[in-house]
Amino acid sequence: MRNPFGFLEEIASYGDVVQYRTVLGTFTALLHPDHVERVLLQEPNRFQQVDVADFDMGIDPEGLVDVRGEQWRRQRTVMQPAFTMERIQSYADAMVEVTEDTAGEWTGGETIRLDEAFSELALRILTRSLFDLDVESDDADVIARTARVLNEQLAVGNPSVLLPSWVPTPSNRRFKRTYGEFVDRVDAMIADRRESPDIGDDLLSILLHAQTDEGATLSETEVRDNMLTFLFAGHETTSLGLTYTVLLLAQHDDELERVRAEHREVIGDDDPGFEHVPRLTHTERVIDEALRLYPPIPTLFREPMEPAAFDGYRVDSGSILTLPQFTIHRDARFWADPMAFDPDRWREERSDDRPEYAYFPFGGGPRHCIGMRFARLEMRLVLAALLRQFDFELVSDPDLEFDPGMTLRPADPVRVRIDER
Ligand code: HEM
């Protein structure tokens, strides 16, 4: 538990199907892209999301990440239209505006914690896009606090994770109190929007009014739980993606210069906007490469609904499958010189003979990340808005270690000195 990534790397030397036991049960790691493709894409009904009710967290959310079966299918169908490119386009201006505001608070010459700064920025962007709230408002403050305690609550190092949620540990109590406040605020916002005749552009309004062709909608609880789900699923992940991208660029001057040259050519002196994004192809390769080396979600888990076999090895229902992006993204069988930061490996002519599921930072199959376009748009726009204004010099240890947990968080603060250009 202390070093899950070193552990996964070690067991990969045993083969592509490796069983191991922990206090949480029996796990089977699948370390070949063909197995990942089978689980996520070919047989998603046979290998389902692990049931969160198995892990008592004190909430039993009915959000998209956690629900299964028919409820998942209905929710996904209702929500999909909120995440098309046309819809997401309307968030682009807010993404740039919030980034400019954040940059306005930075002073050249100061040292900042990049991981914290991006976490705050990604949260502000989500708060605007999902709830149409200004950062200064009380509601936004409650949202920021909820995101913070939820992060703490889910961190593996937190002893409360191993205790039932009714045990009144300080963190369980803090979580319950803050979550209760969050629920009250969101319920009040839902009531407000229900009364208002206009349908706003934010996700909350869209979810409240969304329905499938057959007329299926979301219940009030589902809307509220999804707001929490999106807040968590969309903020820590994107902020880690940005942190690692800027960290890599800060250590590779030649790549940074290529990205800036592309920005100059495509965006010039304009404000970055949605219309520029399709032409930011090298920036996109840089992001792809950062998400390869540092996938914000480092491992996926699935539960076999019935016994199955991989390469002739049996896995039982009730055990858990581990699909580690972190390890497969660095496997020398699929990646030449895997530890090198080499965005050009994403050029078409160099991508041909790689198995599709050698790379799955956003998962795959029907349950792939619904926020992928949102996140990719956000990362490109934030980079465009920041790199033109600032140089980033890494001043903390370049050898990263990671916290064990659901997301790939750096164990130590990532500090950079920022200088105005
Ligand atoms: C770089 C940023 C992001 C990364 C790396 C990422 C990664 C992932 C991955 C790997 C999954 C699949 C989980 C599984 O199969 O068990 C997923 C699902 C999901 N993501 Fe993201 N995500 C990102 C950003 C976002 C954003 C911005 C949002 C929302 C605005 C979001 C919302 C979701 C939701 C709701 C699901 C569940 C989808 C379903 O089960 O149908 N994600 N994400």
Element housing 394 (H / E)? strand 390-394
**pLDDT class for 193, splitting at 50, 70, 90?**
confident
Average pLDDT rounded to a whole number, residues 93-102: 94
- Top pLDDT among 133 and 30 is at 30
Please check whether residue 297 is in contact with residue 402, taking contact to mean a CB–CB distance below 8 angstroms: no
Please report the pLDDT score of residue 194 as a whole number.
79
Ligand 1 centroid, distance to 370 Cα (angstroms): 6
Which amino acid is present at 87? R
Q: For residue 235, how far is its CA from the centre of ligand 1 (angstroms)?
A: 10
Give mean pLDDT, residues 397-402.
91
Single out the residue of 78, 99, 82, 372 nearest to residue 201, CA to CA: 82
Token code pair at residue 266? 């495509």
Closest ligand 1 atom to 63 CA: 35
- Asked if pLDDT for residue 61 goes beyond 80, the answer is no
Best mean pLDDT range from 48-57, 79-88, 215-224, 353-362: 353-362
pLDDT higher than 60, residue 258:
yes
Count other Cβ atoms within 10 Å, centred on residue 192. Answer: 10
State both tokens at 93: 């201006």
pLDDT at residue 206 in the model: 81
Q: Enter the tokens of residue 135.
A: 């950062």
Q: How far is the CA of 360 from the centre of ligand 1 (A)?
A: 11
Q: What separation in Å is there between the alpha carbon of 312 and the centre of ligand 1?
A: 31
Higher pLDDT, 135 or 44: 44
Could you tell which of 37, 237, 323 is best to mutate to test the pocket of ligand 1, judged by most ligand atoms within 8 Å of the CB?
237
Q: Is 233 in the pocket of ligand 1 (CB under 6 A)?
A: yes
What pLDDT sits at residue 59? 58
The Cα-based distances of 253 to 244, 247, 256, 384, 404 in angstroms read 15, 11, 5, 16, 30
Atom of ligand 1 nearest to the CA of 366: 41
Predicted pLDDT of residue 156: 53
Choose which residue among 49, 369, 379, 407 to substitute to test ligand 1 binding: the one with the highest number of ligand atoms within 8 A of its C-beta.
369
pLDDT at 166: 58
User: Residue for token digits 């009014």?
Assistant: 209
**What is the percentage of the chain residues whose pLDDT exceeds 70?**
92
119-168 pLDDT, tens digit per residue, is 989 988 988 888 887 766 777 778 878 877 777 766 655 554 555 555 66
Whether the per-residue pLDDT at 216 is higher than 60: the answer is yes
8 A C-beta contact, residue 68 and residue 61: no
- State both tokens at 359: 């790379």
pLDDT value at residue 53? 55
Say if CB 118 and CB 242 are below 8 A apart: yes
Q: What is the pLDDT of residue 391?
A: 96
pLDDT at 76 over 70: yes
DSSP string of 118-141, one letter each residue: HHHHHHHHHHHHHH---TTSHHHH
Rounded to 5 degrees, φ, ψ at 128 are: -70, -45
Residue with tokens 């080499």: 342
- Which amino acid residue places its CA nearest to atom 18 of ligand 1? 369
Q: Is the CB of 241 under 6 A from ligand 1?
A: yes
- Mean pLDDT, range 1-18, rounded to an integer: 87
Q: Compute the average pLDDT of residues 308-320.
A: 94
Instruction: Kindly state the tokens that stand for 412.
Output: 């130590």
Task: Decide if pLDDT at 315 tops 60.
Answer: yes
Q: What pLDDT was estimated at residue 54? A: 53
State which ligand 1 atom lies nearest to the alpha carbon of 301. Answer: 16
Domains of the chain: 1-56+298-360 (3.30.43.20), 62-291+364-420 (1.10.630.10)
- Ligand 1 near 361 CB (within 6 A): yes
**Does the CB atom of residue 237 touch ligand 1 within 6 A?**
yes
- Quote the CA–CA distance of 95 and 44 in Å, as a whole number: 34
Ligand 1 pocket residue status of 364, Cβ below 6 Å: no
User: How many Å separate Cα 308 from the centre of its chain?
Assistant: 29
Please state the atom number of ligand 1 nearest to the C-alpha of residue 300: 16
Mean pLDDT of 67-75: 90
Q: Is the CB of 290 under 6 A from ligand 1?
A: no
**pLDDT winner (highest mean) among 57-71, 78-92, 115-129, 374-388:** 374-388
Assign 3-class secondary structure to 16-47.
Answer: CEEEEEECCEEEEEECCHHHHHHHHHHCCCCE
The answer on pLDDT for 201 being more than 80 is no
Q: Which atom of ligand 1 is nearest to the CA of 130?
A: 30
Query: Which is nearest to 52 in space by CA: 203, 167, 168, 161?
Result: 161
User: What's the average model confidence in pLDDT over 22-45?
Assistant: 94
Q: Tell me how far the alpha carbon of residue 66 lies from the centroid of ligand 1, in angstroms.
A: 11
- Decide if 312 contacts 333 (C-beta within 8 A): no
Give the amino acid at 311: D
The DSSP code for 80 is G
- For residue 300 and ligand 1, the question of a CB distance below 6 A is answered with yes
